[in-house]
Structure 1
Amino acid sequence: MTVSFRAGRYLVALLWNSAPWGFIGFAVGCVFGTLQAVELLETVDDYFYQAMAKVVHQCAPSDLANASDAEQVKGRAPGSSDHASPIRRTEARAERTLEHPPP
């Protein structure tokens, strides 16, 4: 299929005249798409915050008067933990030694 020189010039002129509108439309679309993404992220953040607030509310002690009276585990020094790092355990042992030096 052959295209005459006149039709070719017409198609190039049409493309040249419509390109700025295409770029403007693309830019406007990107702006609105970004605004929608931000709005969606804010909505998801609100839902996440509400879900975490529900979890915190459910995990809160029911009797606030006795919330600070935690039972001490027998046979264990206050503040010690089996999951503490060796450095923390060594520091705690050093502090106990400084407080009560061996005879």
Structure 2
Amino acid sequence: MTVSFRTGRYLVALLWHTAPYVVLGMFISSFVYAVFVVQLTASFKEELQQVLTAAQQCAPSDPANAADAEQVKGRAPGSSDHASPIRRTEARAERTLEHPPP
């Protein structure tokens, strides 16, 4: 496809006249994007601060008592805490078969 000299000059002039608007649009969109990222970061920081504050309120008041957890009712101390889940399920099934519920 051949382009005449006149059409080529027209396309170059069109490009020349539209380039400033394209560059200006890119700068404006970059600025808007940067402002959006700064606002989003600030909101994430506020949310994180609220979560950390809530987590600190849930912490035990006396760290010395944190190691002494309350025993779950109906469970013997140290009963299969370190056993695999399959063995715990098997042990529960055997207990149920030995002593069926009323």
TM-score class, shorter: 0.5 to 0.7
Q: What are the ranges of 5 or more consecutive residues in structure 2 without an aligned counterpart?
A: 1-9, 92-102
For 1:41, what is the secondary structure of its paired residue?
helix
The residue type equivalent to 1:41 in the other structure is: L
TM-score using structure 1 length:
0.58
Q: What are the ranges of 5 or more consecutive residues in structure 1 without an aligned counterpart?
A: 1-11, 81-86, 96-103
Give the direction of change, closer, same or farther, for the CA distance of 1:64–1:30 in structure 2 (3 Å limit).
same
The residue type equivalent to 2:88 in the other structure is: A
Match of 2:72 in 1: 73
Match of 1:21 in 2: 20
Q: Quote the offset at 1:31 in angstroms.
A: 0.8
Q: Is the aligned partner of 1:60 residue 2:63?
A: no
Cα displacement string for residues 72-99 of structure 1 (whole angstroms, at most 9, x for unaligned residues): 123225577xxxxxx93x243469xxxx
Q: Quote the offset at 1:23 in angstroms.
A: 0.6
- Supply the RMSD in Å over aligned alpha carbons: 3.1
Percent of aligned pairs with the same residue? 31
Q: Is the aligned partner of 1:92 residue 2:88?
A: yes
Distance in 2 separating the partners of 1:73 and 1:42: 42
Match of 2:43 in 1: 44
Q: Quote the offset at 1:45 in angstroms.
A: 1.3
